[in-house]
Structure 1
Amino acid sequence: MFKKLPFILMTLTFVLVLAACGSKNDAGTEGAASNGSGSGEAAAELSGNILAVGSTALQPLVEQAGQKFMAVDEYKNVTVQVQGGGSGTGLTQVSDGQATIGNSDVFAEEKLEDEAKAKELVDHQVAVVAIAPVSNKDAGVDDLTKQQLIDIFSGKITNWKDVGGADQAIVIVNRPSSSGTRATFENFALGTKVEDIQGSIQEDSSGTVKKLVSETPGAIGYLALSYLDDSLQVLKYEGVEATVENVEAGTYPVWAYQHMYTKGEPDAATKAFLDYMLSDEIQQNDVTELGYIPVSGMKVKRDAAGNLTQ
């Protein structure tokens, strides 16, 4: 029996060593599987569908940036769709969960009647837009005062000759009440809301407003700088041109932030797109190329109440 003891001890030791090795291999296999899964998650590409709805003043920038974003290999599985409809529509749809992003020319608390819903939205300011009054080129006017604009859009002045222009009836091309561009124009150009007058034309697209004003004799409207070209007469406001320099300096007052609102904090794909909107590539190229102004260039700031600060 004692002679067999060393053999038994050796056998037990061998069994224990095998068990330990097996346990170690299992742990190693589990660890490798775990590490493989983790690295797979880290390397996984972003994916998702982003629907941005709202401001037609902001629409050209978001569309162009969206196309460039989707062309980046890292974001090839993310789809960005952009629709207009006006700031009010954008804010309502993002609040109701029908859109991922609500594009707006105005602060949410200015447009949404439900204060609680406005507070649910997170503001991402991506640019500044200036709004300029524009007319058909044959109207014969290149400058209007605040009071003249009020009188025209309220129907008190109905002929261009009464403001120094041609003897031609004025045709107002306005935006609907849901439009953030209209709200910006009324707030900072007119200083008051005006009712739609009989005979005026109402369009919910900045592109359509541009076409109508350029083609309709006697027409007047207002557009973001991103829509301006030689087909229109861009009107000075109180003698001041709607230029980037004048907006940045605070001498031209008809401007607003371009907001991209999300309901709560954005998901990973949406955050990546919003970060891309604020990247140097978009801010230093697309923003300025399309007639917008980078927020970083502003020498003045404006709060939700419309107050300017340095």
Structure 2
Amino acid sequence: MFNVSKKAVTLGMVATLAAGLMVGCGTSSNTDTSNKTGDAGKTTEPAQAEVSGKITAAGSTALLPLVKQAATEFQTKHSKVTVDVTGGGSGTGLKQVAEGTVTIGNSDVESGKDYEGKGLVDHQVAVAPFVLVTNKDVTLTNITKEQAGKIFTGEITNWKDVGGKDEKITIIGRAESSGSRKLIKQLVLPEGKDFAKDAIAQDSTGALRQTVEQTAGAIGYMDAPYVTDKINVLKYEGVEYKADNIFNGTYKLYAFEHMYTKGEPDKTTKAFLDYMMSDEFQTKFVEELKFIPVSKMKK
């Protein structure tokens, strides 16, 4: 009987231990699948997976203010990430990302045939409205596509020929690598034509604006976020630039802004691009900086 009792006790202890292990496993499982709670019993969301590393972006100066703002905000949220942003023009951005010397190439225009087969992946992050601008002394308030085309190609050289005062026209443009230059060439100039040879080329949108401000009779082109009250903004084909006129299709000078990666982006770069496309950034910063959220163009 003693042997039987000892066996029974042993079996009972094993059963008790097994039950305890089952309870322990159950508790562990519940902890893994539920949110953590603070001292006050409030639910807190699980922390986002941290990313780290360095991102380099170069290219479009039109897009520069938006990407710089995104970099600032993203680095605040992710202290282990560095985002370096420079300009240089859309052509420079496309060339450098295709060569692998930068992580992201920013461009006002699509990469086109020159970059077919280079493995570039397009990420459209915003819409940039473009405007035609003049020095404050120019009296013209509206310009047609035909008039602008003839001015930029050098066929018309005096403002009096398009309804302005008797004053020489000075064209202020961008360098060959500029996406803004390519865009205006596509949208405004007659097919097969190029800008006048005596056009003054500037390396950035900011430099172009400053030169228009300081040059009597000057005309230029830029994206709307760079406009100040020191220059005149022309109506185009009788239509004033404002976001609603882009949505309703009456204002034609705008471009989707592209951020190209060579192949699919790595984890850190994807997180940065996702942040730029987030409701938080698109709603707050894109419109604040006078760009248009891409989501509004798809409605």
How far apart in 2 are the matches of 1:168 and 1:261? 43
How far apart in 2 are the matches of 1:293 and 1:104? 16
Tell me what 1:100 maps to. 103
Task: Report the residue type matching 1:50 in the other structure.
Answer: I
SS of 1:139's partner is coil
1:53 to 58, 82, 87: 58
- Asked whether the 8 Å contact 1:153–1:194 carries over to 2, the reply is no
Tell me what 2:10 maps to. none
Name the structure with the higher helix share. 1
User: If the length of structure 2 is used for normalisation, what is the TM-score?
Assistant: 0.81
Tell me what 1:63 maps to. 68
Unaligned runs of 5+ in 2: 1-46
Are 1:265 and 2:268 an aligned pair?
Answer: no
How far apart in 2 are the matches of 1:298 and 1:76? 33
How far apart in 2 are the matches of 1:147 and 1:44? 54
Tell me what 2:94 maps to. 91
* Over 2 Å off, 4+ runs: 42-45, 189-199
Unaligned runs of 5+ in 1: 1-41, 301-310
Please report how far the alpha carbon of residue 279 of structure 1 lies from its aligned counterpart in structure 2 after TM superposition.
1.1
- Asked whether the 8 Å contact 1:249–1:299 carries over to 2, the reply is no
- Asked whether the 8 Å contact 1:94–1:261 carries over to 2, the reply is yes
1:81 to 79, 84, 97: 84
Are 1:274 and 2:280 an aligned pair?
Answer: no
Alpha-carbon RMSD across the aligned residues, in angstroms, is 1.7
Please report how far the alpha carbon of residue 114 of structure 1 lies from its aligned counterpart in structure 2 after TM superposition.
4.1
| Cα gap change, 1:276 to 1:287, in 2 (>3 Å) | same
The number of equivalent residue pairs is 253
How far apart in 2 are the matches of 1:240 and 1:85? 31
- Asked whether the 8 Å contact 2:153–2:189 carries over to 1, the reply is no
How far apart in 2 are the matches of 1:100 and 1:148? 40
How far apart in 2 are the matches of 1:184 and 1:43? 39
How far apart in 1 are the matches of 2:139 and 2:289? 27
How far apart in 2 are the matches of 1:225 and 1:288? 12
Please report how far the alpha carbon of residue 200 of structure 1 lies from its aligned counterpart in structure 2 after TM superposition.
1.8
How far apart in 2 are the matches of 1:250 and 1:182? 22
| Cα gap change, 1:91 to 1:230, in 2 (>3 Å) | same
How far apart in 1 are the matches of 2:115 and 2:270? 26
Tell me what 1:136 maps to. 135
Matching of residues 167-246 of structure 1 within 5 Å:
167-192=166-191, 194-246=193-245
Please report how far the alpha carbon of residue 165 of structure 1 lies from its aligned counterpart in structure 2 after TM superposition.
1.4
| Cα gap change, 1:146 to 1:44, in 2 (>3 Å) | closer
Tell me what 2:154 maps to. 155
How far apart in 2 are the matches of 1:133 and 1:104? 19
Fraction of identical pairs, as percent: 53
SS of 2:117's partner is helix
